[in-house]
Amino acid sequence: MTHRRETAGVHELRGSIAGTRTRLLETRGEGPALLLLHGFSDSADTWRPLLERLAARGIRACAPDLPGFGAAADARPGPVLPQLTGMIAGAAWRVSGEYAEPVAIVGNSMGGMLALYMANNRHDVALAGIVPVATAGLHHPAWIRMISSPLARPIVPLLATAPLRPLLSLGMARFGATLRSGDVVRHAPRYVSHLTRDRVRHQLSIVERLLAEEDYPLDVARIDCPVLFVWGERDRAARYERNRERIANLMGRIAQAEQATLPHCGHTPQLEDPDALLRLILAAAPPAPSASRARSSR
């Protein structure tokens, strides 16, 4: 990994994980070891407000750009989910530290579903728990299939051209978030900066491939680590209000599942109210003496 810069205790690094060039945003410190996964079309930048707060507390965390998103290289041809989970496993081993401490995975939107996949099939990663936030993929709203349809595929990438890029920024701030916080406003240009016509076209191909991989094994009854589902009650994307029954059914099949709702938040609580989300995360994965300190005290 090559270190690029540090801002507010957040280190930016470039290198390869699981054979894919990517960028990591990291904080240094003690446990809990947190791995933060972004949502579809987003990047590790979505976690900057939370990372800055973790850095101030001296808590170790890592947020990667997943294949095909942010500053990472495109996903390779073929199935996408194994590529995503492969990079997540590599990032988890990195953040787990010298003594391979258990990792708590926090994922937003698509990242929440990926956290469930990781808990379902550990990929040799020791998990302290997972916190899926505004989880996408529990159902597929009509607009998901619409944007990857043959009719829309030539049109949607045009949103990344210079005259229309403000619409992408506006869409993220209005559709992706309900509470228009300062962090939402600051993230909008970062979000757009990673999107070009070619990148949007590639991400639409990822949607198409993911929809074709619905038989990828996910048996939530096998999840044996603590799970805390976090939902924004004003979510316009994952539509919490319309999915209460589906969510209750899902939680009933997981041995250690709880949920928390943020009544004022939408689809991106990490931007809308990072302090409230941080409190939930640290309650689910409380700081504990690191393995290094425990060994040194013997």
**71 in any annotated domain:** yes
Provide the residue range defining the domain that includes 198. 2-284
Which residues, at least 6 apart from 238, have a Cβ–Cβ distance to it below 8 Å? Answer: 109, 134, 135, 136, 138, 231, 267
**54 in any annotated domain:** yes
Closest CA to 112 of 268, 222, 242: 268
> Which residues are 227's β-sheet partners?
130, 257
Query: How much is the pTM?
Result: 0.91
115-134: pLDDT as tens digits: 999 999 877 899 999 999 99
Strand pairing report for 227-232 and 257-262: parallel
**121 in any annotated domain:** yes
Residue 294: its pLDDT value, please?
42
Helix, strand, coil % in the chain, rounded to nearest 5: 45, 20, 35
Residue 243: its pLDDT value, please?
75
**298 in any annotated domain:** no
**57 in any annotated domain:** yes
Residue 236: its pLDDT value, please?
82
Residue 121: its pLDDT value, please?
85
Residue 297: its pLDDT value, please?
37
**176 in any annotated domain:** yes
**293 in any annotated domain:** no
CA dist list (Å): 51 to 27, 48, 61, 110, 111:
7, 5, 7, 19, 16
**290 in any annotated domain:** no
**CATH assignment of the domain containing 117:** 3.40.50.1820
Residue 295: its pLDDT value, please?
37
Residues of the chain with pLDDT under 70: 99, 139-143, 170, 173-174, 214-217, 287-298
Q: Tokens for 186?
A: 């600051």
Residue 141: its pLDDT value, please?
66
Q: How many domains is the chain partitioned into structurally?
A: 1
Which residues, at least 6 apart from 252, have a Cβ–Cβ distance to it below 8 Å? Answer: none
Q: Tokens for 24?
A: 């990591």
How many C-beta atoms surround the C-beta of residue 166 within 10 A? 13
